[in-house]
């Protein structure tokens, strides 16, 4: 897990990145700076680092089998080798970002490059290079005194609670493309621009990756195979999703054989699940392991996509969190309507 309690900002530079497609300009700062005021230092530290919480890591991808052909990797690597290269590296990165900002949907904004000291990962303390882009401006009201009376003026600025695009490169595993954490609170098209086109990253196939993709596999299996088109009642589909997420919430280590035995259970359904897994891996060009340590961060991130609601006409929404044996479906011939019978001990 990332820990930034003892982290300090060692250097900052800001460049202005226009939209090249709309004839915007690249405006480069002539020097770096460090805030003198400790309150400003702490505000900036919180602004840059607070959003980084989950252990989903990426790494720089080689270009033509050579990591040094990846421009951002090369620039960051030069800083880790000698921090006096910080400003020169920032110019190369700013130019590269400007060159990628060649689409009408890409917003102009400020590029911040920050050198951090004493970030803590599992391996211990390390330096990190932060690459941030601020695109969204907010309007603030400033109170001023004028002729012994208070007045208000509007002012445009950056909301320190909102960070649009961010990347933290930790100085570990340099030979494998470093360990990189990213943030992008924009749409998927812009995510490609930031993550792939500009940074040149690929996701690490670590425990987060394995956990996240296996849960996506379970969700897609229910949607595409274990569904009403194959005569699976909606309540049974929700039950399968519940048992899948519960398995991951309770297990420290995922074991595919145990998962299929405890969650999928039925031999025919297991065969269908195995076939769908092969299809899922081929479609997404990945290989899922049959055993790995469960990432709690991935479980938390994917859990919100698992739906537990049984919608009955326009009259009822039933939220199912328990076991299938406590819900029973039937048909009332007198009313010519389906019904569900729910078993419970207490009414809250």
Report the alpha-carbon distance of residue 132 to residue 198 in Å, rounded: 12
For the residues of 286-344, what is the DSSP string, one character each?
----SEEE--HHHHHHHHTTS--EEEETTTEEEE--S-GGGEEEEEETTTTEEEEEE--
- Grade residue 120 by pLDDT with cuts at 50, 70 and 90: very high
Q: What percent of the chain has pLDDT over 90?
A: 57
pLDDT at position 1 over 80: no
- Give the predicted TM-score (pTM) of the model: 0.78
Kindly state the tokens that stand for 294.
């469960």
- Grade residue 186 by pLDDT with cuts at 50, 70 and 90: low
pLDDT in tens, 242-256: 899 999 999 999 999
SS3 88: helix
pLDDT at position 119 over 90: yes
- Alpha-carbon Rg of the chain, whole angstroms? 26
For the residues of 112-166, what is the DSSP string, one character each?
EEEEEEEEEETTEEEEEEEEEEE---EEEEEEEEETTEEEEEEEEE--TT---EE
Report the pLDDT value the prediction gives residue 287, as an integer from 0 to 100.
92
Report the pLDDT value the prediction gives residue 71, as an integer from 0 to 100.
96
- Which residue has 């990426």 as its token pair? 58
Report the alpha-carbon distance of residue 132 to residue 22 in Å, rounded: 22
pLDDT in tens, 279-330: 999 999 899 999 999 999 899 888 887 777 778 877 777 777 767 777 778 8
Q: How many residues does the structure list for the chain?
A: 348
Report the alpha-carbon distance of residue 273 to residue 259 in Å, rounded: 11
For the residues of 197-252, what is the DSSP string, one character each?
IIS-EEE--SHHHHHHHHHHHHHHHHHHTSSGGGT--HHHHHHHHHHHHHHHHH-S
SS3 78: helix
Report the alpha-carbon distance of residue 337 to residue 263 in Å, rounded: 31
Can you state the angle between helices 207-224 and 267-284, rounded to 10 degrees?
120
Report the pLDDT value the prediction gives residue 256, as an integer from 0 to 100.
95
Between these two residues, 157 and 10, which has the higher pLDDT value?
10
Cβ–Cβ < 8 Å for 103, 22: no
- List Cβ<8 Å contacts ≥24 apart for 298-301: 298/54, 298/56, 298/207, 298/208, 298/209, 298/211, 298/212, 298/215, 299/211, 299/215, 299/245, 299/248, 299/249, 300/54, 301/54, 301/56, 301/212
Report the pLDDT value the prediction gives residue 187, as an integer from 0 to 100.
53
């Amino acid at each position: 897990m990332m820990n930034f309690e003892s982290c300090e900002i060692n250097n900052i530079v800001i460049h202005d990145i226009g939209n090249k497609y709309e004839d915007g300009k690249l405006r480069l700062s002539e020097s770096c700076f460090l805030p003198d005021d400790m309150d400003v230092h702490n505000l900036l530290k919180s602004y840059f680092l607070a959003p980084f919480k989950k252990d989903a890591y990426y790494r720089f991808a080689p270009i033509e089998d050579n990591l040094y052909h990846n421009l951002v990797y090369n620039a960051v690597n030069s800083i880790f080798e000698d921090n006096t290269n910080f400003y020169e590296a920032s110019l190369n990165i700013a130019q590269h970002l400007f060159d990628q900002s060649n689409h009408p949907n890409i917003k102009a904004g400020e590029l911040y490059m920050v050198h951090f000291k004493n970030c803590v990962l599992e391996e211990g303390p390390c330096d990190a290079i932060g690459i941030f882009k601020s695109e969204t401006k907010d309007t603030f009201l400033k109170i001023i005194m004028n002729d012994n009376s208070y007045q208000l003026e509007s002012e445009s600025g950056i909301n320190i609670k909102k960070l649009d695009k961010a990347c933290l490169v930790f100085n570990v595993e340099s030979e494998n493309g470093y360990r990189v954490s990213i943030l992008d609170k924009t749409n998927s098209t812009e995510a490609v621009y930031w993550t792939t086109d500009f940074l040149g990253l690929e996701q690490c196939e670590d425990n987060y990756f394995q956990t996240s993709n296996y849960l996506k596999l379970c969700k897609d299996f229910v949607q595409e195979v274990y569904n009403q088109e194959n005569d699976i009642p909606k309540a049974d589909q929700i039950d399968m999703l519940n048992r899948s997420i519960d398995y991951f919430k309770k297990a420290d280590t995922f074991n595919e054989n145990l998962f299929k035995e405890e969650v999928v259970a039925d031999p025919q359904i297991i065969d269908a699940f195995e076939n769908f897994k092969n299809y899922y891996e081929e479609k997404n060009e990945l290989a899922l392991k049959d055993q790995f340590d469960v990432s709690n961060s991935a479980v938390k991130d994917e859990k919100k996509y698992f739906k537990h609601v049984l919608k009955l006409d326009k009259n009822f929404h039933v939220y199912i969190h328990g076991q299938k044996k406590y819900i029973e479906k039937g048909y009332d011939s007198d009313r010519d309507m389906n019904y569900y019978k729910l078993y419970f001990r207490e009414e809250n």
